[in-house]
Amino acid sequence: MGYLFMAYTIIWALLAGYIFVLGKRQKDLKKELKVLEDWKSEQ
């Protein structure tokens, strides 16, 4: 039972980790896009 728990913990941790990385990339890009849009509207 311990091995089963260990395996599924690793599976969910890695999947959640990758989804978190994707989410962070998107968040950072949205921030950059906002800065560029603000700059454009100021011009």
Select from 20, 29, 41, 42 the one that contacts another protein (CB under 8 A): 29
Select from 11, 20, 41, 42 the one that contacts another protein (CB under 8 A): 11
Instruction: Tell me the closest approach of the beta carbon of residue 3 to another protein, in angstroms.
Output: 4
For 33: left if phi > 0, alpha if psi spans -120 to 50, otherwise beta; the answer is: alpha
CA torsion sign, 28 to 32 to 33 to 35? positive
Alpha helix segments (H runs only) across the chain: 2-42
Instruction: Tell me the closest approach of the beta carbon of residue 19 to another protein, in angstroms.
Output: 7
Contact status: 26 vs another protein (CB under 8 A): yes
